[in-house]
Structure 1
Amino acid sequence: MKKLLQLLVIMIPLALLSQPNTEVFLFDLSTENNQIQITNGKNISNNKGYDNQPSFASENTMLYAATRNGQTDILEYDVKTGAKKWLTDTKQGSEYSPTQIPKSKYISAIRLDTTGLQYLYRYHKGKSKAMLKDLVIGYHVWNSRNVLISFVLGKPHRLVLSNFKKNTHITVDTNIGRSLHNIPNSNLVSYIKKKKDEWEIRSLDPKTGETKRITTTVPNIEDMCWLSNGTILMAKGKALYTIDPKKDTDWKIIKLFDQEKLDNITRITTNKSNTKIAIVAEIETALEPTLENIRWIAGNWKGEAFGGITEENWSEPSGDSMMATFKLIVDGKVRFYEIETISEVNNSLILRLKHFNNDLKGWETKDETVDFPLIRVTKNKAIFEGMTFESIDENNMVVFVAIKQKDGNTSIVPFYYTKN
């Protein structure tokens, strides 16, 4: 324990210095035509520094860790009025991961003291008390007033089940992620198991200690939340994914935050009625809308989509434009082609394309094109209305395309490409 605390004293100040400038955004959440709708977003933290780890203490009350005066304290936010109230002002340290303790007047949070000590505390009306001094807890969730499931720092990180009535602290699993949640309509808790080849979402029964696999995560993503109907949400970059583990085998994208100036989404949470969703993300930095700033799109890209092989070849910028050819091959035969251009027009960019059958008969009329006006350009994204290009690294790119379905709904289809 002494060696671990000494290590934390060294590591934690470095972690604090590297914390991203994150914000907490709040959206309305609803379901229409069997599709999840996320609308009316606003930045509720709007504060330079680390604003993160939101949780709903009640239907219309949110808690989150917010930066002020060089430290993070617990902030309470009223969803209806927008009023904010500081709940802590701990001079000797900072608080993280504020959580309501069920059926009590207390909230709990992880306190990181200036000395490097890190404990779980409970708080009420400005007073605080350390709850567990034998466990260095990073993240936690209350299954009931006396049952706590926590992520305990170590090599490896451990999933620990604590019962305060019995005074027991049992290690249930190792190599886990930070996302811990009560599963709706059950007594179970979910956690992320970081296996070598894939990460899993697993359930824990706090009464028996039994764990079971639920599904795999979006690759290499550990933040998630549950909806009351058993659906799971996860996010990556600007995309929000969903899966119903009872009937789905694959994750699908339900929202691409292309209109919102946010990126690199991490934490997500909803209130109990699923009418509000809070997400944590970084603010985008826009670049000038020039071809030079999206030059990384150029190249010969190959991938898989629609049950076949896709190929997309983009030229280098020249003559105020970039040009591409696209084809989809299924079962060894071309299904269709596209010709695409991105042009500099009126101090902006526009993406245009035309579709062709495999015999080059056009889908659109002679003078008709499918146009995608530019929304904005960032360091690794070219965001058009209905199509977003994202650079993963110099050899990998994903293109998100909004495709209207026969039932009138819109699906967002990702095309994952590797450069040849």
Structure 2
Amino acid sequence: MYFRKQIFFMKRIVFLAIQLIAITVWSQTNTEVFLFDLQKEGNSFVLNNQRNVSNNEGYDNQPSFFDENTLLFAGTRNGQTDIAAYTIKTNTIRWVNSTPEGSEYSPTKIPDANKISSIRLDKDGKQLLYAYDYKTGKSKALFEDLKIGYHTWYDENIVVSSVLEDGGLSLVVSNLKDNTNKTIQKKTGRSLHKIPNSNLISYISKENENWEIKSLDPLTGVTKKITNTFPNVEDMCWLADGTIIMGKGNSIFKFKPKEDQFWNIFHSFTDKEIGNITRITTNATSTMLALVSDASPEHIVQKQLDAYNKRDIEEFLAAYSKNVKVYDFPEQLQYEGLDKMRTSYAGFFKNTPNLHCEIKNRIVFGNKVIDEELVTVNGSQFSVIAIYEVSNGKISKVTFIR
């Protein structure tokens, strides 16, 4: 959408300007957790029964299965993230903890215990791995000297984690029984998983230009390469049959070691809710799959259009990134940033009761949405082409052709 002050003065038509509000939770994007039923049909898998289980404004991320009826994730509540437990049968969420002094991330079930481990980032910058009682939410720090970023459990005593040190992540094996920590490798990623039907943990190695999925025996420290990741993707999980899946854009790719030579399409999404997939996980029996996604570019653009037509200033601006740039075609910058645009749009929405934008044609190409728009302002109409570019779940650039 688009208006010009010149037209406002000449024809009482207002040139549409764009403003934004960046909704941030610990400088993270607005993401959602989706859950699917996963069914095997012959040699392929089918995803059914899609549902948005977080359905919440803000950062909802890092899902993991507590059991066959409970999905854990880090969910936004009251301006911070807490541990959310989604009950699948009843479609309800229970908040496991309430920690005013910090936020929790990467909730994970502790083996053979009714407890959850989670990384807590306190407001003073302190970051430690804690254990939480699943029923009461009471917590206790597990390691006082490790700044753990991501983790998984080998058994009830051994934790494999990605530790923040020297400006990156290092793979560390920690034993709660004898209070030891052993660094296995530097330059690793965040995705750590128990490999099905084995006593091994998988991790992402970033030592080389092409990232690799490797296995680790936490007891001996022996590592072996399994395969290269899907290019520039580090989030993965395992299906029960030993297949690796990774998300890229709005597609999921699969690779089965010892059988496949190349990554193949597992599933591609066409609906407007699924955009850029960042996290992915399955339950132990691979009958359910959970993933994290930004909304699709088309969904984000449509949301701001709906807010525009309702003249809802907060909802409209929330679709845009903090440093959005607005251009006249091809590269003439009109403006950048928040303050000027909020002032312009608040008055424009308030004083234009018959404001309306109709989409005549729309093309979606990757992260770009190209709209042919017919805008009505105070009884007059004008046409414009708007090219929206979406990054990290927000509109980051708009170019107008008039």
What does the per-residue CA deviation read over 1:65-89, in whole Å, with 9 as the maximum and x for residues that have no partner? 0001110000101111111100011
Q: Which one-letter code corresponds to 2:163 in the other structure?
A: V
Cα shift at 1:249: 1.5
Contact 2:82 2:105 in 1 (8 A): yes
**Residue in 1 that maps onto 2:260:** 248
Aligned sequence identity (%): 51
What does the per-residue CA deviation read over 1:197-228, in whole Å, with 9 as the maximum and x for residues that have no partner? 20000000011110000000011100000001
Mapped partners of 2:61, 2:390: distance in 1: 24
Q: Secondary structure at the match of 1:253?
A: strand
1:135 to 146, 150, 153: 146
Cα shift at 1:273: 1.3
Mapped partners of 1:255, 1:182: distance in 2: 23
2:84 to 75, 89, 104: 75
- Cα distance change, pair 161–379 in 1 and its aligned pair in 2 (3 A): closer
Q: Which runs of 5+ in 2 are unaligned?
A: 1-23, 303-358, 371-388, 392-402
**Residue in 1 that maps onto 2:100:** 91
Q: Secondary structure at the match of 1:263?
A: coil
Q: Secondary structure at the match of 1:262?
A: coil
- Do structure 1's residue 181 and structure 2's residue 193 form an aligned pair? yes
Cα shift at 1:347: 4.0
The alignment covers a number of residue pairs equal to 290
Mapped partners of 1:377, 1:218: distance in 2: 22
Mapped partners of 1:166, 1:130: distance in 2: 16
Cα shift at 1:276: 0.7
**Residue in 2 that maps onto 1:50:** 59
**Residue in 2 that maps onto 1:262:** 274
- Cα distance change, pair 164–103 in 1 and its aligned pair in 2 (3 A): same
**Residue in 2 that maps onto 1:22:** 31
**Residue in 2 that maps onto 1:380:** 368
Q: Which one-letter code corresponds to 1:380 in the other structure?
A: K
Superposed, 1:153-168 pairs within 5 Å as: 153-155=164-166, 156-168=168-180
**Residue in 1 that maps onto 2:18:** none
Mapped partners of 1:285, 1:99: distance in 2: 31
Q: Please give the TM-score of this superposition, normalised by the length of structure 2.
A: 0.69
Mapped partners of 1:381, 1:236: distance in 2: 19
Q: Which runs of 5+ in 1 are unaligned?
A: 1-14, 289-345, 350-373, 383-390, 394-420
Q: Which one-letter code corresponds to 1:243 in the other structure?
A: F
Cα shift at 1:259: 2.4
Mapped partners of 1:247, 1:94: distance in 2: 42
What does the per-residue CA deviation read over 1:16-67, in whole Å, with 9 as the maximum and x for residues that have no partner? 5420100000011011131111122111101000000000011111110000
- Do structure 1's residue 220 and structure 2's residue 214 form an aligned pair? no
Contact 1:284 1:378 in 2 (8 A): no
Give the number of the structure with larger relative contact order, counting CA–CA contacts within 8 Å between residues 6 or more apart.
2
Contact 1:60 1:271 in 2 (8 A): no
Mapped partners of 1:217, 1:381: distance in 2: 29
Superposed, 1:286-365 pairs within 5 Å as: 286=298, 287=301, 347-348=360-361
Q: Secondary structure at the match of 2:155?
A: coil
Contact 2:25 2:79 in 1 (8 A): no
**Residue in 1 that maps onto 2:242:** 230
Cα shift at 1:258: 1.1
Mapped partners of 2:229, 2:125: distance in 1: 32
